[in-house]
Structure 1
Amino acid sequence: MHNLDELISRWKSGLNLQENILADDIDELEDHLRMGISHLVSLGLSEEEAFLIAARRIGTGANLEAEFEKVNTGSLWIHRLRWMVIGILGFQALSTVWAFLARAGSSWLLMSTKSILSSGILFVVLSILLPVILWLGVKTLTREKTLGIVRQSPFSQFVEQRWGWLLGCLAGLFLLVPIGGILLTSITAANMPITMYAEYSAVVSMYQLVSGILLPLLGLILLQWLNVDRKKHLATN
């Protein structure tokens, strides 16, 4: 029985690599597999022989993936969008907290030492260098575990084929947006009276406050809707 459980565990691990086969589908396939094995064992076959025959009857991973792709189209897109929203909200929450802590630390040092240089250095270290070091460390630790487990979905294939183009677009975006913000602030300040610019700054600050609360809130509402819709799709499939 121990060998049979190990064989089934390896079989399930192979199915888990197929993006189009959901966890509930794998559980259902496992039930069919075990029923087939039990029937074949009752006919006098060994557990290993029964497993091989029952697994072959169910189908290979590629055939099952093609079959379930037609059935789980809606659930798959909801699943992908759900994880995209989770990633965006998680990154936004982490970056917001990290930026606040970096700013608080540099402000405390500025008030304590009255040194703009040391405060600026601490801010750069906390907000840029430390996250980069931590990211590289996490990437190194998880690299071996993630090798060979990348699912070749259409999106992942698109990313692999156009990685250089996507990387260039992202780099340009991250470079141009801050420069555009600096230019916009400079042009606005140069063409406005001081009192009007102060009122404008207050409006911008209020907008940033509202957007900083409203956008994550809308993301959480979307995530909850996706969870409910995902459960409905799983119940109907």
Structure 2
Amino acid sequence: MSTPDELESQFAQWRQYLQKRPELRKSDADELEDHLRGSVDELVGAGLRADEAFLVAVKRMGSLDDLSREFAREHSERLWKQLVLTGEPDGPAASRSRRDLVAMIVCAAGAALSIKVPALFGMDLEHDIAFYGPNIALFVLPWLAGFLAWRRQAPKPLIGALLGLFVLGAVAANVFPLGDKSQTLVLTTIHLPIALWFAVGLSYVSDDPRSPRRRMDFIRFTGEWFVYCVLIGLGGIVLIAFTFGTFKAIGIVPETFVGQWLVPCGAAAAVVVAGWLVEAKQSVVENIAPVLTRLFTPLFALGLLAFLVAVGVNGHGIDIERDALILFDLLLVVVLALLLYSISARDPLGPPTLFDTLQLALVVCALAIDVLVLVEIVGRISEFGTSANKAAALGENVILLANLAWSAWLTLGLVRRRKPFAALESWQTSYLPVYALWAWLVVLVFPPLFSFQ
């Protein structure tokens, strides 16, 4: 028999799901919960156990997705109102929202000012790329991490660890004698933002760092943050166009202001603003990334399959010069991102679908391309010797190969109904630290290992 506490725990969990739906107000949730409790009491009176009655009652009510769609049809204006930046007029939630807003403004202003600090020492974004390249993430990501750590009320030891990671990144970017045209400078410029983004992730999960669920939440946060950054960037382009047009109409060309102040400061501040929007408007646009995933998964699967067929017909080897290596690594990362965001939005108890089969095809095609690239890299290293770029590409492709190979095996088991979805989700969240460790390895070990060349 279920205890009253266990039944109340089930009700609490069900209500948490309701509260994540932007279409449902508190009064809606109260009404639905009253209806659910009445159904449970009726079923218990008919002789069912409390846990059985709860499951049957929830099933009768229908899925939360169906309920949300119904409320969305009735009250579509609510979603627009939730995008307004002001919070509720009264209550603790409004006070917290105002504090978050103030903290965001402080951190966004700090990021915008930080990007201009080097100008005090005569440096310029256009001419000092060798400095700004590896340092760009150090100007903005500490402010985003600080905002998230403040919002999560991160413990002092974790704050100390965050400071240590950012200091370590600053040392790697500025103490190492990286040449202006060296391969290690390019590798640091690419990998340091990745390493520091995982530091941002540490601040995001600071309330429960060991939880796989919180790691998956950070994956969702990353996708939603990217979507907001793109939207803010598109709005920024419109703002710049209007700024040029209106000032030019009165005989002023604001090229210096736009290039030296508006663009860099606006972009730096947008990194923090996007993070705040994700936190403040959770679940309002959280389905954008999964929708894009469902759109592009079959397209990428067809594209990769066509590429593999072309390789077989043409018989031409893959060019693995630096630009091509970056392109193929980005391709594999995109495939991995498509897999991650489909996992984050999938019903963990749902049966296998056609989309799972499409994902399996996508991952298998990516695996085949990864193997082809690895064969070419090993062949070039054997013939011409290693370099920083080739060693980094080799390591990254091996790491991606391991992840994608096991993901393909688990997805195959899911499609064949022999493995649970939880195994695939757990594998991805457990593998995240591997990427962080590799990024730090490239930043800290590769430059001295390859004599800063």
Report the TM-score, using the length of structure 1 for normalisation: 0.47
Q: Which has the higher contact order (CA 8 A, sep 6+)?
A: 1
More helix, by proportion: 1
Structure with larger Rg: 1
